[in-house]
Structure 1
């Protein structure tokens, strides 16, 4: 099912839409929901719950918990984009790893330097309740260490992200969100667990790039 939806949205996003060059990137609201990460083969890399703080630039993503998938990674990530660090958390063993974030690209927000590509209707624009109108934004990103790529992001008129396609030198990824609520339902999820306090920043091995996207490559 996810593969079929992804292919459909991929075709939509790659088509030429009506462009309006007066559009400026909006910013997503606070959100709680489900996030699905796939590769271009339709394989689910991770599926789980997320909490996103748009003002504090914080993201918590926990996969393989309430919606386990045999093919998905078991991850618990707490990302502080503004500070440039993130934690890999193991609540079961009360342990964590603190790492430097090389690429601060936020998967649930439209970057300020994004270029508006156009507006399109997924589904039907003429039948009430049978279509979703989205704006499509495109841009490029880099981590400053030689790793770079581009993206195509679709968002509703209220700036809720629907689907983002990332093209990079590594495995291309597709990120989609579902069951979104425009609130932070559990603020404690965005707080560093007590057993992670005082955790030293790990040294990054030569040639390694740390980013949210790289966790799924």
Structure 2
């Protein structure tokens, strides 16, 4: 009985603490969806995220302006390089990255909007405690709103605004701490010799452009 009382007090103490900005685990994998307010874009992707090496890989399936697309993109931010990978044909396209690596998590200058339970707080395992934050995008490009778990700082969703698409919503799920196959974040053996492709009619890749089938 005393153990139960102690555990209850500890839990109450944790819930009473004010949430603070946080960093997500440096190695994550899972799945995400991206959708836009104007309904031009919807995509599903499996993702592999390495904050230590500043590398990300996205394997996507989606629709853009009612056309279906697939894409397998490896982003190496330290090298300012992205690879479009076609495993079936064993071909690669190499493109420049114009953006800096943005780690998952909540920046220190973000403001807390609130803390809620997703699901139910009526019983153990029925709900998930999350915190929602708001702040400025890099280079004052607009505002964002991000939700992460209270314990572990695992991403749940992010919303931000663009002139082209309106509100863009990214939702994360089936997250796993770690990467089961680290080789997925290394260019395949048929990629390193690919020539850098710079198309004057196409902007160098940023996050949202990864979901647009212009390549």
Same fold by TM (over 0.5)?
yes
Aligned residues of 2:54 and 2:101 also touching (Cα < 8 A): no
Alpha-carbon distance in structure 1 between the residues aligned to 2:145 and 2:70: 26
**Residue of structure 2 in register with 1:156 after alignment:** 149
Describe the shift of the 1:159–1:72 C-alpha distance in structure 2 as closer, same or farther (beyond 3 A): farther
Aligned residues of 1:28 and 1:161 also touching (Cα < 8 A): no
**Residue of structure 2 in register with 1:190 after alignment:** 185
Alpha-carbon distance in structure 2 between the residues aligned to 1:34 and 1:216: 14
Describe the shift of the 1:103–1:139 C-alpha distance in structure 2 as closer, same or farther (beyond 3 A): farther
Describe the shift of the 1:113–1:89 C-alpha distance in structure 2 as closer, same or farther (beyond 3 A): farther
Alpha-carbon distance in structure 1 between the residues aligned to 2:115 and 2:147: 9
Larger proportion of strand: 2
TM superposition shift of 1:58: 1.1
What stretches of structure 1 move > 4 A for 4+ residues in a row? 41-44, 68-72
TM superposition shift of 1:105: 5.3
Alpha-carbon distance in structure 2 between the residues aligned to 1:113 and 1:170: 28
**Residue of structure 2 in register with 1:50 after alignment:** 47
How many residues are matched? 192
**Residue of structure 1 in register with 2:125 after alignment:** 129
- Where structure 2 has 5 or more consecutive residues not aligned to the other structure, the ranges are 1-16
Task: Give TM-score scaled by structure 1 length.
Answer: 0.74
**Residue of structure 2 in register with 1:23 after alignment:** 20
TM superposition shift of 1:182: 0.9
Kindly report the root-mean-square deviation, in angstroms, between the aligned alpha carbons of the 2 structures: 3.0
Please say if 1:34 is aligned against 2:27: no
Task: Give TM-score scaled by structure 2 length.
Answer: 0.74
Describe the shift of the 1:190–1:211 C-alpha distance in structure 2 as closer, same or farther (beyond 3 A): same
Describe the shift of the 1:125–1:29 C-alpha distance in structure 2 as closer, same or farther (beyond 3 A): farther
- Where structure 1 has 5 or more consecutive residues not aligned to the other structure, the ranges are 1-18
TM superposition shift of 1:41: 5.5
**Residue of structure 1 in register with 2:175 after alignment:** 180
Aligned residues of 1:45 and 1:71 also touching (Cα < 8 A): no
**Residue of structure 2 in register with 1:6 after alignment:** none
Aligned residues of 1:100 and 1:201 also touching (Cα < 8 A): yes
Aligned residues of 1:36 and 1:44 also touching (Cα < 8 A): no
